């Protein structure tokens, strides 16, 4: 089933996430990070921030995508200023594009996020491409 292209531009209500020292420590432990400054979030921590409140699942649910057909195809991060322990982060996520390949067997959803801080402004951007593997259409009778 094709994803309704009307969802391009769909945005979740903005939400706030606190990058507590505990969350950064837990994330570092989960990825085996032992070096560096423990008060600075690791490079892929933005994914944890933008995923708060089950936001990725909510976007896919809105687009009526079957979770079993979903794979993460691409991920890009742009860094403006580091996320530091204790930061209150404002997150905005939106569906910026939906396109297909192979006659609709593969559909791609592009989700872009911005992560900002009230005083320091934009800290980073995330761009994710989700692959939806559609079943081959039944042959028309």
- Which residues make beta-bridge pairs with 89? 17
Rounded to whole angstroms, how far apart are CA atoms 91 and 75? 17
**Nearest partner of 93 among 130, 42, 137, judged by Cα:** 130
54 binds another protein (CB under 8 A): yes
Q: Does 97 bind another protein (CB under 8 A)?
A: no
**Sign of torsion over alpha carbons 126, 63, 60, 21:** positive
Regarding 121 and contact with another protein (CB under 8 A), the answer is: no
Q: How far is the CB of 45 from another protein (least distance, A)?
A: 9
Only segment of 37-45, 85-93, 96-104, 105-113 that touches another protein (CB under 8 A):
37-45
Binding span for another protein by CB under 8 A among 3-11, 71-79, 90-98, 113-121: 71-79
Q: Which is nearer to another protein, 6 or 68 (CB)?
A: 68
Dist. CA 125–CA 90, nearest whole Å: 12
Q: Which of 1, 2, 14, 31 binds another protein (CB under 8 A)?
A: 31
In our burial notation (b when 16+ CB lie closer than 10 A, e otherwise), range 31-65 reads: eeeeeeeeeebeeebbbbbbbeeebbeebbeebeb
Does position 43 interact with another protein (CB under 8 A)? The reply is yes
Residues that bind another protein (CB under 8 A): 23, 26-27, 29-33, 35-37, 40-44, 47-48, 51-52, 54, 56, 67-79, 82
């Amino acid at each position: 089933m094709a994803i309704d292209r009307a969802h391009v531009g769909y945005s979740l209500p903005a939400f706030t996430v606190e990058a507590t020292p505990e969350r950064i420590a837990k994330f570092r432990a989960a990825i085996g990070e032992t070096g560096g400054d423990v008060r600075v979030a690791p490079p892929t921590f933005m994914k944890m921030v933008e995923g708060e409140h089950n936001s990725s699942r909510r976007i896919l649910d809105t687009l009526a995508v079957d979770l079993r057909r979903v794979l993460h195809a691409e991920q890009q991060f742009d860094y403006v200023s580091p996320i530091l322990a204790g930061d209150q982060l404002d997150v905005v996520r939106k569906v910026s594009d939906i396109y297909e390949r192979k006659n609709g067997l593969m559909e791609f959803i592009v989700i872009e996020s911005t992560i900002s801080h009230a005083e320091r402004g934009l800290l980073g951007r995330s761009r994710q491409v989700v692959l939806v593997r559609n079943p081959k259409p039944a042959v028309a009778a």
